[in-house]
Amino acid sequence: MSDQTPRTGLIKWADLTVDNAEEVRDFYSAVVGWDAVGLDVGDHQDYVMKHPETGDVAAGICHQLGEIQGLPQQWLVYVTVEDLDDSIAACNEHGGEIAFGPRDSETMGRWCVVRDPAGAVMALTELTPGEDN
């Protein structure tokens, strides 16, 4: 993902939360060529996946543990929104539903996962103080 400040309506992050994070980490290291860097999260490590030559952050691979247990085991993109409560209301008004959350995170700010009328999911994350939109 880019090191640029997140802006409203753009993808801020992508990650995959799974039961077998080490196996999936190794899969994407072999298939895509990403380097994995461990990230201490309480009593375990999740993984930041980086481009092998530039070190640019590409995505995260996380264990299905703690507060994120129950997330869909699929790639999730996190889109920045101005006001999460307004986006949740709009989701509900337009035939969607909240699939997970909302939750607070030190790294992602306030976020949730929405399911659109077709059944596809996406995470929404609210701009945190100090971020530009």
User: Residue 129: is the preceding peptide bond cis (ω within 30°)?
Assistant: no
pLDDT at 2 over 50: no
pLDDT at 19 over 50: yes
d(Cα 38, Cα 95) in Å, to the nearest integer?
39
Burial (CB count <10 Å: 0-12, 13-18, 19+), residue 86? exposed
d(Cα 128, Cα 133) in Å, to the nearest integer?
10
**Segment 118-125 mean pLDDT:** 95
pLDDT (0 to 100) of residue 30: 95
Residue 4, both tokens: 């640029």
pLDDT (0 to 100) of residue 21: 95
pLDDT (0 to 100) of residue 7: 81
Per mean pLDDT, which range of 21-35, 41-55, 116-130 is the poorest?
Answer: 116-130
Burial (CB count <10 Å: 0-12, 13-18, 19+), residue 47? buried
pLDDT at 130 over 80: no
CA neighbours closer than 13 Å in the CB half-sphere of residue 120 = 5
Phi, psi of 36 (to 5 degrees): -105, 130
| Mean of pLDDT over the chain | 89
